[in-house]
Structure 1
Amino acid sequence: MSNYQYYEYQQNDGGYGVPPYEPEPPKAKKPKKEHKFLKTLGKTAAIAAVFGLVAGGVFQGTGYIANRALGTEESAVVAEKEEKTTTKSSGTSLSKSDGTVDSTKVSTATTVTDVSDIAENVMPSIVAVTNISLVEYRNFFGVGQYEAESAGSGVIISQDDDYLYIATNNHVVEGTKSLTITFCDDTAVTAEVQGTDVETDLAVVKVKISDISADTLSAIKVATIGSSDDLKVGEACVVIGNALGYGQSVTGGMISALGREVTLSNDTTGETYTNKLVQTDAAVNPGNSGGALLNMNGELIGIVSAKYSDTDVEGMGYAIPITDASEIITQLMNSGEVTERPQKDGEEAIEQGGYIGIYGIDISRSQAVAYNIPQGVYVSSVIDGGGAKNAGIQKGDVITKINNTKITSMTDMQKFLADFKPGDTVTVTLCQANNNYAEATVQVTLTERLQ
């Protein structure tokens, strides 16, 4: 299990930390026999979160980025610039048209001792994102669902004639049943997901302009986009977001490091993804996920995503660099999905390979011994239309080998399958949950990634 977990705040019990992967239900129903591992898996996830890096601050209730252009389309509008003696601004507005919402202006602040200018200019572009989702839980009695309310942050980064577009994190809107956006004047409107990308933890949501009152339209602003390529370690920065779900708050600090490789684990699917993030010591709290990391011009340079959560560690927050995110966001804005991964500087293009079509959770050696379950990848969900589904792999099975190569984690599986392509067939060795974990082999035809 990765040390990098999603960071959430439990409103119902007042505690901080990651909710168990399989939270306990409000009420147990009919008893149903289930393997001991299923009953205690959530506890393991929660323990890992206490000592690991956690995704930067969804504020969780009772249960769990962004212009059409992003500076890459010819119609992007250059934002108003102000002359300053000590700073240089290259910020742009990402809106496709002049629209009805003004853009934020650059600031004259140069230190973190007084960022009131930045706060005044930028806070109208920050929103609270409230997500009502269905959370699945398992315990000794079986499987159930309950409705959960969670809250994060978002940044208004684009508008067209019909919609206002807001950047946030994938984990803020994941599993949504309904979304509500609350603006700086405390008015709330219904929103819908335009597109999400699990690998980069980015998402775009949109709100109909017609649903926003004239007063609110005059109060809010579209964020000005800066460049994360120009950042320097030690440079001052500001974080603004919906901390603890209380509404907007401002924290300040500096850029602590650049290009930090951070591996985040999706608690719902068990999949892990590694990205290079900006590290800051500006306070990142539950609810800041999807919020803004700003330079001292008040320009957006990152989307807050994660922080390190450990009793011995302070001041290690992380944000997705806005420059790296631009191509992903453009695709989400235009088509709602990512069809091509941008090649990063200094890296060779890597084929995504084929996909088996499961969500899985790592079973360590100690867990295998403790719960009398095989070591490997526990199949937490089988994706409809995928090779695993067609081959008869079921939820609860444990994958131990592929083409006779030992598989002990989702990372092992992803690395092994990177050499294959959709349409290839592999031999999967698994232990079947419905047959007392007896070993079996099946032929799986790989597919493209299925959402």
Structure 2
Amino acid sequence: MQQKDNDQFSFINEKIKEKPVNKKRLLMQAGFIALMAVVFGIIASLVFAYFQPKFESLFYPEEEPVVTIPQDSVAVTELTELTEETETSEETETSEEPQVPSEEPPLQQPQELEIADVQNVQNKLYAVGREANRFVVTVTGVKSDTDWFNNSYESRGQASGIIIADSGQELLILTERKVISDAQEVYVTFINDVTVEASMKHYDGNTGIAVLSVPRSQVDEDTMNAISVAKLGNSLTTMQGTMVIAVGSPLGTNYSILTGNITSTNNVISTIDNNYTVFTTDIVGSSSGSGVIINVNGEVIGLVMQDYGNEEDQTTLTALSISELKQLIEKLSNNQDIPYIGLGLTTVSAATAKEYDIPKGAYIKEVKMDSPALAAGLQSGDVITEMDGEAVYTVDSYESKLLALKPGDEVEIVVQRQGAEKYEEITCTVQVGVLK
């Protein structure tokens, strides 16, 4: 009986053994955890890489590169030439070696130019033009409109532009604003027929000059190798008879090359707050032509703007002197407003001052309606003699002082105003504005 009871409850005396460790399963779990850690690390890295630039741009905004365009001066050139002449004369005077008379070489008969020689010169000029075409672009403005029947359509305006700077972040294009005014989309086509979208950087409401921006990220490497940046030359030394080359679309077709000469450098166009020298040429062009004129070194010396030419002479190209536009272009390239007062001016020369008994300075021919000048009380017939305590003798000095200001600044302008018996000094405080 006892044996039977022991057999019946024998399970109570069994020993429970520990479950053996499943090493394979542990390894799989450890591997899974390690894999999840790696995946988490990759995701964290990607998220960090994505958001880091955004946080940096938010808390540490990157400064936009500043574009600098060196200004030109005739005085510097003349001084250099005078110094070189002086040094040459001093060397001649101090030379102690006696000059030994040498036999004069026999006179050579002048050689006649052959047609092939003329063709060689022409070929070299066109080679300069083809190289310059690398910085020429086609600017297209696309506008959406509706016709009389309320049907929508697109209109496209085109003109030439030139690449004036590469800041590393963007390419800057100089062109005329009238082509892209009110355009919903603006495109730039490079010499290799690659087209990219551009945006307005800034424009001048007075001259109509505009600077466009093309992000470097949109321009591929092949295009960067095909294009170049224009070099703005010194047009202040340009003389009548200077040989020039017109590139862009002087006849309406882009990447045209025309050659000719400067026929006049004495024409001056009077615009608001500025006077510009206008070069006339013997190059036949379209009344709607655009582009630039370059010298034989491939340097830009004039910006073709037919609106500034004489209406009677619209068949030949006219261009604004590039040296007089450099300060303006630099401001536009750095997205800065052009200061505006609203005066039409001319210089009172010493001869004019003596003949008509007028004070020397900048003579006000016109005061624009609704301008800061009109609000400040300036009048036609006044002669500006000082700006913020600095003497003003010419329109050029007035322009340089104005461009050094910013919209919103207040400037004290001293004028001489003709009274009943003599000129009287009057001071006007003008708040500088912007012409849209």
TM-score by length of 2: 0.50
Residue 209 of structure 2 corresponds to which residue in structure 1? 202
Contact 2:140 2:159 in 1 (8 A): yes
Please name the residue that 1:155 is paired with.
162
1:126 counterpart residue number: 136
C-alpha contact (below 8 Å) 1:294/1:300 kept by paired residues: yes
Q: Find the aligned partners of 1:354 and 1:314 in 2 and give their Cα distance.
A: 28
Asked if 1:225 is matched to 2:235, the reply is no
Matched ranges for 1:18-417 at <5 A: 68-72=67-71, 114-133=124-143, 147-243=154-250, 246-262=253-269, 275-285=276-286, 288-289=289-290, 291-306=291-306, 313=313, 315-339=315-339, 348=361, 355-356=369-370
- What is aligned with 2:62? none
User: What is the one-letter code of the residue matched to 1:276?
Assistant: T
Distance in 2 (CA, whole Å) between partners of 1:309 and 1:322 is 19
Are the equivalent residues in 2 in contact too, given 1:190–1:207 (CA < 8 A)? yes
Q: Give the residue type in structure 2 aligned to 1:326.
A: K
Report Cα offsets for 1:364-417 as digits up to 9, x if no partner: xxxxxxxxxxxxxxxxxxxxxxx99xxxxxxxxxxxxxx9xxxxxxxxx99599
More helix by share: 2
* C-alpha contact 1:354 1:448 (8 A) present in aligned 2: no
Task: Measure how far apart 1:126 and its partner are.
Answer: 0.5
Cα shift at 1:276: 2.7
Q: 1:180 to 1:112 in 2, by over 3 A?
A: same
- Measured in 1, the distance between the counterparts of 2:432 and 2:145 equals 27
CA distance in 2, matches of 1:315, 1:112: 22
Q: Does the 8 Å contact 2:250/2:317 carry over to 1?
A: no
Which structure is larger by alpha-carbon Rg, 1 or 2? 2
1:215 aligns to what SS in structure 2? helix
Taking the aligned partners of 2:186 and 2:213, their CA distance within structure 1 comes to 10
The residue type equivalent to 2:136 in the other structure is: I
The Cα of 1:110 is off from its aligned counterpart by: 11
Q: CA deviation at 1:314?
A: 6.6
Q: Is the 1:134–1:175 contact (alpha carbons within 8 Å) kept by the matching residues of 2? A: no
Query: 1:178 deviation in Å?
Result: 1.6
Q: Is the 8 A contact 2:252 2:286 kept in 1?
A: no
User: Distance in 2 between the 1:299 and 1:247 partners?
Assistant: 19
Superposed displacement of residue 350, structure 1: 7.3
Which structure would you say has the larger RCO, counting Cα contacts within 8 Å and 6 or more residues apart? 1
- Closer/same/farther in 2, CA of residues 150 and 274 from structure 1, 3 Å limit: farther
Partner of 2:338, secondary structure, is coil
Q: Quick one: structure 1 residues 229 and 273, their matched pair in 2 at CA, closer, same or farther if it must change by over 3 Å?
A: closer
Residues 135 and 246 of structure 1: is their aligned pair in 2 closer, same or farther, counting only changes over 3 Å?
same
Is the Cα contact below 8 Å between 1:353 and 1:418 reproduced in 2? no
Aligned-pair distance for 1:172?
3.0
One-letter code aligned to 2:330: T
Give the distance between the partners of 1:201 and 1:344, measured in 2 at CA: 19
Preserved CA contact (<8 Å) 2:163 2:228: yes
Q: Unmatched 5+ residue regions in structure 1? A: 1-66, 74-108, 265-270, 358-386, 389-402, 404-412, 424-445
AA in 2 matched with 1:130: T
Moved more, 174-183 or 301-310: 301-310
Post-superposition shift, 1:296? 1.1
Amino acid at match of 1:170: R
Counterpart AA for 1:151: Q
Counterpart of 2:88 in structure 1 is none
- For 1:223 and 1:345, the matched residues in 2 are separated by 32
Gap change, CA 1:448 and 1:276, over 3 Å in 2? same
Provide the C-alpha distance between the structure 2 equivalents of 1:249 and 1:72, rounded to a whole number of angstroms.
29
Q: Is the 8 A contact 1:157 1:166 kept in 2?
A: yes
Secondary structure of the 1:206 match is strand
Describe the shift of the 1:135–1:282 C-alpha distance in structure 2 as closer, same or farther (beyond 3 A). farther
* d(CA) in 1 for partners of 2:258, 2:316: 13
Quote the Cα distance in structure 1 between the aligned partners of 2:368 and 2:328.
21
Gaps of 5+ in 2: 1-65, 73-118, 349-360, 385-407, 411-430
Task: Go from structure 1 to structure 2 and tell me whether the alpha carbon gap of 1:221 and 1:261 turns closer, same or farther (over 3 Å shift).
Answer: same
What one-letter code is carried by the residue in structure 2 that aligns with 1:69? T
Answer 1 or 2: which has greater strand percent: 1
Partners of 1:179 and 1:418 in 2: how far apart? 43
Work out whether residues 340 and 433 of structure 2, in 8 Å CA contact, stay in contact via their aligned partners in 1. Answer: no
Provide the C-alpha distance between the structure 2 equivalents of 1:218 and 1:196, rounded to a whole number of angstroms.
28
Aligned counterparts of 1:171 and 1:263: Cα–Cα separation in 2: 19
Look up the SS of the partner of 1:326 in the other structure.
helix
Deviation, 1:198, is 2.6
**Percentage identity across paired residues of the two chains:** 23
Q: CA deviation at 1:249?
A: 0.5
Cα RMSD for the two superposed structures: 4.6
- Cα offset for 1:202? 1.6
Alpha-carbon shift at residue 192 of structure 1 (Å): 1.0
